[in-house]
Structure 1
Amino acid sequence: MAEISTHEEAIKTVNDLIKDVEVAMLTTITDGKAVSRPMQTQEAEFDGELWFLTLKDTAKYLEIIANPSVNLAYAGKSYVSISGTAEFSEDLERKKEYWNPIFEKMLETTYDDPNVVLIKVTADTAEYWESGNKLKAVKQFAKKLTNNERAGDDEEMNETVKFNN
């Protein structure tokens, strides 16, 4: 795999890997425990930030206020884990832009409800595993299981990119 050398290349790589994944698992920390829940991915190009809609009267809202460090996990043709910092936005125009009839049914409200809030996650790092060579992946997994061996550095199938230098 070619080394990612610029911030723009890192953004493009992650965008290409997650653009068709409709749901991400958002992990927050509460009482020292990781808690994950599915979040609808917005139809916006990844530029180092990810946006989600939620309600203020939820556990995740309180968890993010207490500890804004979060992780997002995407599973599709590839697997992507994005670590970052979450913050809230009341931007009414952006809420309207991301709103769709599914949210109205799921959240039982409208985008201009003061209880609706945006979560903005600014990515720090992304780790990804491309699933292009499934046979190699299966062989490596089987080797680990049967021989109790760990894959060497030359066999690693994942890459990590940092967004904040």
Structure 2
Amino acid sequence: MGQGFVLLCGLMSLCMFSVQVTGDYHKEGVHDCSKEKIIPSAILVAQSNKTTVKSPISFGNIYAFDDPLTVGPEPTSQVIGNAQGTYVLSGQDKLSLVMSADFGFTTGEFNGSSFGVMSRNPISETSRETAIVGGRGKFRLARGYAELKTQYLNFTNGDAIIEYHATVYHY
């Protein structure tokens, strides 16, 4: 019934994801990504009129994102899917967000499948945990958690690299 694996996610502009999955996923072959460009994409879709600080981490801002999932944190890493979703900057006195994201795979063993995260993410903490709340395809009825560790965070422009170790149980 259950199956677990590890993910390594890079989060650029609080939204560009890279993934490393251990096990059979890497046996799918090597893809030459040396000519591909990966452009982080997060857009501000709503902003509180009560927010007085003009920065990429203003309380109440809502962002939408659609970013490539890659094998590693480097921009030239093999693309294996997409991370799509939204996040709300929800911490008033400490940098935190509430994130809803779909990690969808487009290659390998999990092609056409995805799992979802809906959780508070206190990104100012170096280590933290988020909830895996569902999925589709091979991740149908997924549940679990992801342990996150910040590898890099630039408070000025919002760029970050986050390592995810996800444990996913599914049917």
TM over 0.5: no
Q: Which has the larger radius of gyration?
A: 1
